[in-house]
Amino acid sequence: MADELHGRRVAILATDGVEQVEYEQPREAVERAGAQATLISTHDGEIQAMNHDTEKGDRFAVEAQVADVHPGDYDALILPGGTCNPDRLRMNTSAVSFVRTFVESGKPVAAICHGPWMLVEADVVRGRTLTSWPSVRTDIRNAGGNVVDQEVVTDNGLVTSRKPDDLPAFCAKVVEEFAEGRHPVAQPSS
């Protein structure tokens, strides 16, 4: 539906090294559904996207800096992958805090491929079930999360997928979960 997300504001948190298709396709999906998407990064100017982590892709204009925005201004969050992207983001305290606040508020969050590294860094995976790129799975387990190897996994508003091949299922589930809106806040198990 073209208006499924009408009036919703979606934050996309990414920086240099983002996997281009994991940024572009989810953004297109939420915008087609009527949402207003904003590329948020750790710096102004542009970010350099990558294809398969090794080849430079396009550059994308940063629309807001994470230090200048508040999670309350957005209804949902997308965390694209690319190996370098979340690795750089998790070194930025404003980015980590932004992600933590989103998850703790019960707003829907979607992360693909290496994107769940930000969820680990924000310490919000304990007791949650998710998936990711294989090299991130040990980190998820060590942070108390449950890992499954599936195309797309949804856990109380948290949507995760493994890799670019999963994008069709990921994007469809992202629109569905974002349309549902805020979910009850998950309490971590002890």
Does residue 66 lie within any of the structural domains? yes
- Rounded to whole angstroms, the Cα distance separating 74 from 38 reads 9
Note down the domain range covering 52.
9-180
Series of mean pLDDT values for 10-residue runs along the chain (190 residues): 87 98 98 98 98 96 97 97 97 98 96 98 97 97 98 96 98 96 66
Assess if residue 52 is contained within a domain. yes
CA 33, distance to chain mean position in Å, is 17
Q: Which residues are catalytic?
A: 113-114
- Give the CATH number for residue 23: 3.40.50.880
- The answer to whether position 190 is within a domain reads no
In a domain, 1, yes or no: no
Is residue 95 assigned to a domain?
Answer: yes
Say how many C-beta atoms besides its own lie within 10 A of residue 107's C-beta: 21
- Position 69 in a domain: yes
Q: Would 4 be classed as within a structural domain?
A: no
pLDDT at 170: 98
Cβ–Cβ under 8 Å, residues 12 and 78: yes
Does residue 15 lie within any of the structural domains?
A: yes
Number of domains in the chain: 1
Query: Cα dist. 129→50, 70, 121, 125, 164 in Å?
Result: 28, 26, 16, 8, 20
**What global pTM score does this model have?**
0.95
